[in-house]
Amino acid sequence: DQQVKQNSPSLSVQEGRISILNCDYTNSMFDYFLWYKKYPAEGPTFLISISSIKDKNEDGRFTVFLNKSAKHLSLHIVPSQPGDSAVYFCAAAFGNEKLTFGTGTRLTIIP
Amino acid sequence: DAGVIQSPRHEVTEMGQEVTLRCKPISGHNSLFWYRQTMMRGLELLIYFNNNVPIDDSGMPEDRFSAKMPNASFSTLKIQPSEPRDSAVYFCASSFQRKAFFGQGTRLTVV
């Protein structure tokens, strides 16, 4: 049972435009959400997070939005840059340190 | 800090052989995770330790897999006997304040 779902395996975006990556979850107990970025042959690296008491968190070009009623979160990257091409994983946690990850979305930025 | 250190980076073994993957977490982190990355399931949690104690091993595929954490600075994941379907990238991560930090992974190929 996939509790965290990323339904788009891939996404292509023109450089300079906005990239929007989506994630859905089924467990209403999740209270903390994170996005990770992964380059080939490297481990995932932490990008940005949001607590369930908030609906938005911004860090530079990256903004995460949380819609608890829809059990949906999204990551916005604006403007998109070639270095943003990577696989993005969303993750969720409740109560402890255990993170449940989605299957990932491969983002390709087209120059 | 050098980050989470995994060894080996690559492992090729024959079916039926024992494989041991190693991990050194970041000093001061009290949680450690073993994940397996596959195309179908993304980052799949195998086992989670807190303060060196296994908390959740529900993701361990079968009895052929075992993991230990004898002290705060070392963990192993063992597969015995290995099978071709175990071929994947295995990640170790340690966490602090609900943010996980990943090693570079071990790419396991069982032929």
Inter-chain CB proximity A49 and B99 less than 8 Å: yes
Minimum CA–CA partner of B54 in chain A? A98
Q: pLDDT tens-digit profile of A16-40?
A: 999 999 999 999 999 999 999 999 9
Chain mean pLDDT for chain A: 95
Which residues of chain A have a CB within 8 Å of the CB of B105? 41-43
How large a percentage of chain B has pLDDT more than 90? 83
pLDDT-based confidence at B1, cuts 50/70/90? low
Beta pairing partners, B44? B36
Chain mean pLDDT for chain B: 94
**CB of A101 less than 8 A from some CB of B:** yes
Is residue A89 within 8 A of residue B43, CB to CB? The reply is: yes
| Residue B63 DSSP SS3 | coil
**CB of A57 less than 8 A from some CB of B:** no
Q: Mean pLDDT per 10-residue run, chain A (111 residues)?
A: 89 98 95 96 95 97 97 98 97 85 95 93
Q: Where are the beta strands (DSSP E) in A1-111?
A: 4-5, 10-14, 19-25, 32-38, 45-51, 56-59, 62-67, 72-77, 86-93, 100-101, 105-110
Q: Where is pLDDT greater, at A97 or B70? A: B70
Inter-chain CB proximity A44 and B91 less than 8 Å: yes
Minimum CA–CA partner of A6 in chain B? B42
Is residue B37 within 8 A of residue B43, CB to CB? The reply is: yes
Inter-chain CB proximity B102 and A43 less than 8 Å: yes
Which residues of chain B have a CB within 8 Å of the CB of A97? 31, 48, 50, 95, 98, 100
User: What mean pLDDT do residues B65-81 have?
Assistant: 97
